[in-house]
Amino acid sequence: MKLHEYQSKQIFAKYGIPIPKGRVAATASEAKAIAEELGGRVVIKSQVLVGGRGKAGGVKLAKDADEAEQLATQILAMEIKGLPVRKVLVDEAAAIETEIYFSITNDRAARKPVMIASAAGGVEIEEVAAKTPEKIVKVHVDPLLGLRDYQARDIAASIDLPRDYWKDFNKIAAGLWKVYTETDATLAEINPLVITKDKRLIALDGKMMIDDNALFRHADLAEMRDVDEEAAAETEARKYGLSYIKLDGNIGCMVNGAGLAMTSMDIVKLFGGEPANFLDIGGGAGSDKVAAAMKIILSDPNVKAVLFNIFGGITRCDEVARGILVAMDEVKPKVPMVVRLVGTNAEEGRKLLADAKMITAETLADAAKKAVAAAKGKAK
């Protein structure tokens, strides 16, 4: 789960990381009122769950409250990378001297959290990594020992942070480490962490991602989820306990079991197709869940064919077939559908689907081939 900048910064502040004064607003007049409170010179920042807002025109400086109102009006009418702006953060403007990049994330290959820092902050870190990788410093943190003071000092030295700021940087590093571990984050990022002209070190931007699997023990964080800013299909999938990830291809895949789902996607690719999604309906899915899954798959306009690969164990093929029928009745799909049912109650399942005008397949390879052909408009 991604958190907004204003949410991330509120969490940072709780852990002693300095942030600018400011508040979030949903209307231009609220933005104006906040700007007045803050003394006029503010920055208006779109709150959308994507990076690069600055470049897209979603971060603007205002010299007084009236300009803040104007800019908020503009920004609240924007769409950034396809996401509508519904809120703006109005922060006291900072006079920036230096922009630093600083984050903690999980390094899967090293099986450890890693602190990443760079003196080339402000811009997206992927850009720095691509053009000037030597400007990025990485320090792995042992999850059992936690962040050690010397590691924070190492980072400060490696990014040539002036000595005067080392003590404050140490506190910020320790705070960010606590944020990362205590919230079960997969990313805690400050970009930029700035040195201001009046010699303060503050987190001007904040970004956090929380491990969805840990949300059960963070009711306060789970509440912060902004469903308006998520892909509708993913919200819907979560409601039904489905694991769904949208991809860029055109063959919708409905499979039971994550391993089988990945295998099915591989086989689709093997035969020259591109999966439109990953979807695991889970073990023992009933017809309502199947119907929900099918609606989610078909809500993607790229989908040109759907492949069902159901290996019935705990999941009963007749239940799946019933779910397919319910969904077909409701959504009236226009795309061809290829179905492979094997295992528990497969025979009953096939009988139920006999009149449903679906393309049937015996093996996974056969099913994938037929789905690829169907997506290319070559189905009978």
- Hey, which residues are catalytic here? 101, 189
At closest approach, how far in Å is the CB of 45 from ligand GDP? 6
312 binds, among ligand GDP, Mn ion, none (CB under 5 to 8 A by kind): none
Does residue 60 belong to the site contacting ligand GDP (CB under 6 A)?
no
Among 2, 53, 322, 369, interactor with ligand GDP by CB under 6 A: 53
Q: Which helix H or strand E contains 317, and what residues bound it? A: helix 317-331
333 binds, among Mn ion, ligand GDP, none (CB under 5 to 8 A by kind): none
Is residue 52 helix, strand or coil?
coil
Report whether the peptide linkage leading into residue 113 is cis, meaning its omega lies within 30 degrees of zero.
no
Is residue 328 helix, strand or coil?
helix
Does residue 185 belong to the site contacting ligand GDP (CB under 6 A)?
no
Q: How many residues belong to the site for ligand GDP (CB under 6 A)?
A: 17
At closest approach, how far in Å is the CB of 89 from ligand GDP? 9
**61, two tokens:** 């400086």
Does residue 361 belong to the site contacting ligand GDP (CB under 6 A)?
no
**365, two tokens:** 């390879």
Q: Could you tell me which residues come within 8 angstroms of residue 6 by beta carbon, excluding any fewer than 6 positions away?
A: 22, 23, 24, 47, 87, 89
Stretch that binds ligand GDP, among 8-16, 44-52, 133-141, 359-367 (CB under 6 A): 44-52
Are the C-beta atoms of residues 269 and 320 closer than 8 Å to each other? no
Number of H helices, E strands in the chain: 13, 19
List binders of ligand GDP among 102-161 (CB under 6 A): 122
| Identity of the residue, 172 or 341, whose beta carbon is nearer to Mn ion in the bound complex | 172
Is residue 295 helix, strand or coil?
helix
At closest approach, how far in Å is the CB of 251 from ligand GDP? 34
Per-residue interface string for the shown chain with ligand GDP, residues 66-105, x marking contact by CB under 6 A? ---------------------------xx-x--x------
- The Cα 40–Cα 62 span in angstroms is 8
Does residue 18 belong to the site contacting ligand GDP (CB under 6 A)?
no
99 binds, among Mn ion, ligand GDP, none (CB under 5 to 8 A by kind): ligand GDP
R_g of the chain computed on alpha carbons: 25
| Identity of the residue, 192 or 349, whose beta carbon is nearer to Mn ion in the bound complex | 192
Cα–chain center distance at 1: 6
| Residues paired with 308 in a beta bridge | 254, 339
| Identity of the residue, 9 or 289, whose beta carbon is nearer to Mn ion in the bound complex | 9
Does residue 40 belong to the site contacting ligand GDP (CB under 6 A)?
no
One-character DSSP codes across 145-197: T---HHHHHHHHHHTT--GGGHHHHHHHHHHHHHHHHHTTEEEEEEEEEEEET
Are the C-beta atoms of residues 118 and 125 closer than 8 Å to each other? yes
Tokens 């005067």 locate to 164
List binders of ligand GDP among 202-241 (CB under 6 A): 204-205
59 binds, among ligand GDP, Mn ion, none (CB under 5 to 8 A by kind): ligand GDP
- The Cα 206–Cα 102 span in angstroms is 10
| Identity of the residue, 45 or 246, whose beta carbon is nearer to ligand GDP in the bound complex | 45
C-alpha closest to that of 93 among 39, 30, 27: 39
At closest approach, how far in Å is the CB of 202 from Mn ion? 13
Does residue 22 belong to the site contacting ligand GDP (CB under 6 A)?
no
At closest approach, how far in Å is the CB of 206 from ligand GDP? 8
**299, two tokens:** 């809500």
**List of residues contacting Mn ion (CB under 5 A):** 191, 205
Give the residue at shortest CB distance from ligand GDP. 54
Among 59, 88, 104, 321, interactor with ligand GDP by CB under 6 A: 59
The binding site for ligand GDP (CB under 6 A) comprises 43, 45, 51-54, 59, 61, 93-94, 96, 99, 122, 191-192, 204-205
